[in-house]
A and B are shown apart, each in its own frame.
Chain A
Amino acid sequence: MYGPGLKYRTMKKYLLLPALFALAFLSACHDHGEDGAKADFTITYKSSYGGEQMTKYKDYAFGTTGFPLQFSRFSTYLSDIELIKSDGSSHRLAEIEYIDFTPDNASSDLSATPAITYQNVPEGEYTGIRIGYGVKPALNAKDPTDFDGNHPLAKEGEYWGGWNSYIFSKIEGKADSDKNGTYDIALLYHCGSDAVYKVFTFNQSIHVHAGEPGIAVNLDLLKVFTMDDDSFYDIVTNFYTSNNPDDVTVAQVLTHNFEKATTVTQ
């Protein structure tokens, strides 16, 4: 009497419901099953000088003569922060972060230690963490007008139109190179442009489990200014990053040094 239409509608009713239940079950397993358990995972970003938490405007000894050196600003962009598994796969925690160790609202000169919690990180054992230093090229092709409000890449003061690039990292300070009590050198390292972007992998056993502590990623400024042969970088000659994006030698040296300046601990 009702013909094939009813049969189809009845079939649809009886097939659709189990399918929906199955889908719901699978979704639930994804979030809560043994293999799919997820947890919050916190990275605390820190900066130091010679192993000591960096403090703005504090005199640090630098170079073979130990002349005074001070920092007044240190900030950096980090891209594609990923936890790496033993099978080579990875879980990306963030596409981009802006880490400001010397924020305007700090109540002291002690460098800030921003802690960022990443949610829904698959629990388990990881063999390391991969970090892009700077703004990866795909994002560096954009500019602050492409982003809204509080997005890390919306910061006008972190972009230079002349480079068509974000300023990947800012290290500013001053030095008294001849130790006569007067700071004779202004240090201004604003590193940027795609040629400066570097990705480093840090092999370190990292456990991600609910309730367990996250990791600390520390950047040591003394090591940023220490060369591979352990000599000191010549900040007296190279006190300033080039204003020409075709000549990014200084910026490349410093970004290269970020690798050994970084320590990951849990």
Chain B
Amino acid sequence: MKGLFIKVSFGLALILGILACHDLPTKEPIPGDLDHIPYDPQPYTIVKPSFFPNVPVPADNPMTADAVQLGRRLFYDPLLSADSTMSCASCHLPQGNFSDNKAVSTGIDGIAGKRSSMALLNIAYATNGLFWDGRSPSLEAQALLPVEDPIELHTTWPQVIDKLKAHPTYPTLFRKAFGITDRTQITKELAAKAIAQFERILISSGTSKFDEFKQGNIDVFDDEELDGYLMYFEEAWQYGLNLPDAQCFHCHGGITLTGNNYFNNGLEFVASLDDFKDLGRYNVTGNNSDKGKFRTPTLRNIALSAPYMHDGRFQTLEEVVENYSKKGFGVANEDPNLPLMGLNGPNNTLTEAHKKSIVKFLHTLTDTTFVNNPDIQNPFQ
């Protein structure tokens, strides 16, 4: 009897041991442990409005359905932080146009950063540097940084990779996305590629009121919105109207409403360029005249992206337009468009009615179809 008990116990322990080992790494990785899982990458076609340009995709990271899904999981997975409390999405929430609606973002240790999280809508088109200062040349390069930033996810890639290798699901997802043959081949570079692929699908739906107007439905705007549009794009002449130029489109032009260039957009007076609290683009280029310059964000969905500017200093669009109406502060490297704000208006200024119209126009850029798109929501909910 006792012998039978020992045999049964040994058998159960053996079975449990085998089951437990099924998806966990062994101390000695088994070469080819993922080889049995089919690898059949299917090209992923990015959904975009017909009037948007093709999305730039790097040759070494072609879009596939499995990689996009892997990237989506990684983007929303708090596993990427040291204490598993925060993910990329903690600072880039769909409802905030993939920003966090805070003046500056706070990491896992409760330490506030110095800049606001940037909206990720149409980030695939930003090929002139990423972050407010443009320090990352690509989405793939950018995705590597927050994980190890001590005021963001504050962990290390080796720790994250260990967790991914030990995870019951991720090794299979990496296999399907990138054709790796065993879990030891999971790398931070592949994780970043997957996240970048997910970010490349964050494209406008093309259904905003502004898009309807641009597609020919000129009655979609009310009078104030139309005035705002005409001042923003300086197209009043087309309608024989006498409206001031708001100069917005010079920096926020094109279909994505940003040229992704770097400007001192006249936020404040400083006696010298060295007095900027945040030196911005200068930290990347080392060029003295880049002090206080930051990358222009898209204005699409801007009403969902408050607060505004790199440090979130303005809570409302009204405050933003009010500041621009001051025409800058005469700082050496301010953009020359600033003093021209309100050109051709009464005393070359914007009236309160003009400012109100511009804000009303900015609200027509709201694209709720995008932020509610089920394909880009948290897959864990």
Interface residues, chain A, CB within 8 Å of chain B?
A: 56-57, 72, 104-109, 144-150, 154-162, 172-174, 182-183, 186-188, 190, 240, 243-244, 246
Given the known inter-chain contacts A162-B234, A182-B330, please indicate yes or no for A172 contacting B287, CB distance below 8 A. Answer: no
Pairs A-B, 3 closest by C-beta atoms: A157-B259, A156-B254, A186-B336
* B116 located at the interface, meaning its Cβ lies under 8 Å from any Cβ of chain A in the complex: no
Total count of chain B residues near the partner, CB < 8 A: 46
Question: Across the interface, do A149 and B287 meet the contact criterion of CB distance under 8 Å?
Answer: no
Question: Across the interface, do A108 and B287 meet the contact criterion of CB distance under 8 Å?
Answer: yes
Q: Tell me how far the C-beta of B212 lies from the nearest C-beta in chain A, rounded to whole angstroms.
A: 15
* B258 located at the interface, meaning its Cβ lies under 8 Å from any Cβ of chain A in the complex: yes
Q: Tell me how far the C-beta of B313 lies from the nearest C-beta in chain A, rounded to whole angstroms.
A: 23
Interface residues, chain B, CB within 8 Å of chain A?
A: 51-54, 56, 125, 127-129, 134, 233-235, 237-238, 245, 249-251, 253-256, 258-262, 281, 284-289, 330, 332-333, 335-340, 343-344
Given the known inter-chain contacts A156-B125, A157-B261, please indicate yes or no for A244 contacting B237, CB distance below 8 A. Answer: yes
Chain B residue, CB-CB nearest to A173: B336
List residues of chain B with CB within 8 A of the CB of A187.
336
List residues of chain B with CB within 8 A of the CB of A145.
51-53, 255
Question: Across the interface, do A104 and B129 meet the contact criterion of CB distance under 8 Å?
Answer: yes
Question: Across the interface, do A186 and B338 meet the contact criterion of CB distance under 8 Å?
Answer: yes
Question: Across the interface, do A157 and B287 meet the contact criterion of CB distance under 8 Å?
Answer: no
Q: Tell me how far the C-beta of B339 lies from the nearest C-beta in chain A, rounded to whole angstroms.
A: 4
Q: How far is the CA of A117 from the CA of B344 in the complex (A)?
A: 44
Q: Tell me how far the C-beta of A141 lies from the nearest C-beta in chain B, rounded to whole angstroms.
A: 16
Given the known inter-chain contacts A145-B51, A155-B259, A183-B330, please indicate yes or no for A106 contacting B127, CB distance below 8 A. Answer: no
List residues of chain A with CB within 8 A of the CB of B258.
156-157
List residues of chain B with CB within 8 A of the CB of A105.
129, 134, 284-285
Question: Across the interface, do A156 and B253 meet the contact criterion of CB distance under 8 Å?
Answer: yes
Instruction: Jot down 28 A-B pairs with beta carbons below 8 A, ordered by A.
Output: A72-B333, A72-B335, A72-B336, A104-B281, A144-B255, A145-B52, A148-B56, A149-B56, A150-B127, A155-B259, A156-B258, A157-B259, A159-B253, A159-B254, A160-B233, A161-B235, A161-B249, A162-B233, A162-B234, A162-B249, A172-B335, A172-B336, A182-B330, A186-B340, A188-B337, A243-B234, A243-B344, A244-B237
Question: Across the interface, do A240 and B286 meet the contact criterion of CB distance under 8 Å?
Answer: no
Which of A109, A148, A161 is the one whose CB lies under 8 Å from B54? A148
Q: Tell me how far the C-beta of B92 lies from the nearest C-beta in chain A, rounded to whole angstroms.
A: 22
Q: How far is the CA of A147 from the CA of B127 in the complex (A)?
A: 14
Question: Across the interface, do B289 and A57 meet the contact criterion of CB distance under 8 Å?
Answer: yes
Q: How far is the CA of A186 from the CA of B341 in the complex (A)?
A: 11
List residues of chain A with CB within 8 A of the CB of B286.
107
Q: How far is the CA of A240 from the CA of B247 in the complex (A)?
A: 12
Q: Tell me how far the C-beta of A154 lies from the nearest C-beta in chain B, rounded to whole angstroms.
A: 6
Question: Across the interface, do A57 and B332 meet the contact criterion of CB distance under 8 Å?
Answer: yes
Q: Tell me how far the C-beta of A188 lies from the nearest C-beta in chain B, rounded to whole angstroms.
A: 5
List residues of chain B with CB within 8 A of the CB of A162.
233-235, 238, 249
Question: Across the interface, do B262 and A104 meet the contact criterion of CB distance under 8 Å?
Answer: yes
List residues of chain B with CB within 8 A of the CB of A157.
251, 253-254, 258-261
Question: Across the interface, do A104 and B255 meet the contact criterion of CB distance under 8 Å?
Answer: no
Which of A109, A146, A158, A159 is the one whose CB lies under 8 Å from B288? A109
Question: Across the interface, do A154 and B233 meet the contact criterion of CB distance under 8 Å?
Answer: no
List residues of chain A with CB within 8 A of the CB of B288.
109
List residues of chain B with CB within 8 A of the CB of A150.
56, 127
Question: Across the interface, do A160 and B249 meet the contact criterion of CB distance under 8 Å?
Answer: yes
Q: How far is the CA of A186 from the CA of B333 in the complex (A)?
A: 12
Question: Across the interface, do A109 and B336 meet the contact criterion of CB distance under 8 Å?
Answer: no
List residues of chain A with CB within 8 A of the CB of B245.
243
Chain A residue, CB-CB nearest to B264: A72
Q: Tell me how far the C-beta of A245 lies from the nearest C-beta in chain B, rounded to whole angstroms.
A: 8
Of listed B56, B336, B339, residue having the most chain A CB within 10 A:
B336
Question: Across the interface, do B53 and A107 meet the contact criterion of CB distance under 8 Å?
Answer: no
List residues of chain A with CB within 8 A of the CB of B335.
72, 172
Q: Tell me how far the C-beta of B264 lies from the nearest C-beta in chain A, rounded to whole angstroms.
A: 10
- Taking A156-B253, A159-B254, A188-B336 as known contacts, 11 extra A-B pairs with beta carbons closer than 8 A to each other, sorted by chain A number, are A104-B129, A106-B287, A107-B286, A144-B254, A144-B255, A147-B53, A156-B260, A157-B254, A161-B233, A172-B337, A186-B337
Q: Tell me how far the C-beta of A261 lies from the nearest C-beta in chain B, rounded to whole angstroms.
A: 20
Q: Tell me how far the C-beta of B282 lies from the nearest C-beta in chain A, rounded to whole angstroms.
A: 10
Chain A residue, CB-CB nearest to B288: A109
Q: Tell me how far the C-beta of B91 lies from the nearest C-beta in chain A, rounded to whole angstroms.
A: 25
Given the known inter-chain contacts A57-B332, A243-B234, A244-B237, please indicate yes or no for A109 contacting B254, CB distance below 8 A. Answer: no
